[in-house]
Chains A and B, each alone.
Chain A
Amino acid sequence: MKLQFDEATEAFRREFDAWLDANAPSPDEAAEKSRSSAHIPEWARAWQRTMFDAGWLVPGNSPEYGGRNASVIEQFVHLEELGRRKIYQSFNPQGLSIITPSILAFGTDEQKQKWARPVLRAEMTAALGMSEPDAGSDLAGLRTRATRDGDVFVVNGQKVWTSGAHDADFIFAFVRTEPDAAKHKGISALIIPTDTPGVTCRPFGSVNSPDDLDFNEVFFDDARVPAENLIGDLNEGWRVATGSLGHERAFLWLGYADRLDELVARGGRVVREQGLHDDSLTLDWYGRLVVDQHALRLLGYRTLGGAQRGVETQEQSILKLLGSEAVQRATLHIVEALGEDALDPTGRSGPDEPLNLDVWTAGWFEMYLRSFAATIAGGTSQIQRNIVSERVLGLPR
Chain B
Amino acid sequence: MAVDVYVAIERARALYQFAALAIAEDDERRALATSMAKAAAGDAQRIAAQHGFQFFGALGYTWENDLQLYLRRAKAGDAMCGTANQHRERVARLTLASLAAGGSR
Contacts and interface: CB of A to CB of B under 8 A. Distances in A.
A287 B92 contact: yes
Interface in B16-50: 17-18, 21, 24-25, 32-33, 36, 39-40, 43
Contacts of B90: 287
Interface in B33-73: 33, 36, 39-40, 43
A392 B99 contact: no
Interface residues of A, number: 35
Interface in A366-397: 385, 388-389, 392-393, 395
Interface residues of B, number: 34
B2 A271 contact: no
Interface string B67-105: 000000000000000000101111111011001100001
Contact of A318 (B7, B85, B92): B7
Interface stretch (A44-52, A210-218, A294-302): A294-302
A271 B92 CA distance: 10
A321 interface: yes
B95 A290 contact: yes
Contact of A298 (B17, B25, B95): B17
B30 to A, nearest CB: 13
B84 to A, nearest CB: 9
A283 interface: yes
A80 interface: no
A273 to B, nearest CB: 12
B2 A395 contact: yes
Contacts of B36: 290-291, 294-295
Nearest to B29: A294
Interface stretch (A197-205, A261-269, A335-343): A261-269
A73 B87 CA distance: 34
Nearest to A386: B3
Contact of A2 (B4, B11, B25, B105): B25
Contacts of B85: 284
Interface string A156-175: 00000000000000000000
A2 B89 CA distance: 28
A322 B11 contact: yes
A114 interface: no
A389 B6 CA distance: 9
A286 interface: yes
B99 A265 contact: yes
A290 B10 contact: no
Given A265-B105, A272-B96, A298-B15, A290 B3 contact: no
Interface in A140-160: none
B14 A321 contact: no
Contacts of A388: 3, 6-7
Contact of A299 (B3, B10, B105): B10
B39 A291 contact: yes
A22 interface: no
Contact of A287 (B17, B24, B33, B87): B87
B99 A287 contact: no
Interface of B: 2-4, 6-7, 10-12, 14-15, 17-18, 21, 24-25, 32-33, 36, 39-40, 43, 85, 87-93, 95-96, 99-100, 105
11 contacts: A1-B21, A264-B95, A268-B99, A271-B96, A286-B92, A287-B92, A291-B36, A295-B40, A298-B14, A299-B10, A299-B14
List 3 A-B pairs, minimum CB-CB distance, nearest first: A287-B88, A287-B92, A298-B14
Interface of A: 1-3, 261, 264-265, 268-269, 271-272, 277, 280, 282-284, 286-288, 290-292, 294-295, 298-299, 302, 318, 321-322, 385, 388-389, 392-393, 395
Given A287-B39, A291-B39, A295-B11, 5 more contacts: A280-B89, A288-B88, A294-B15, A321-B3, A389-B3
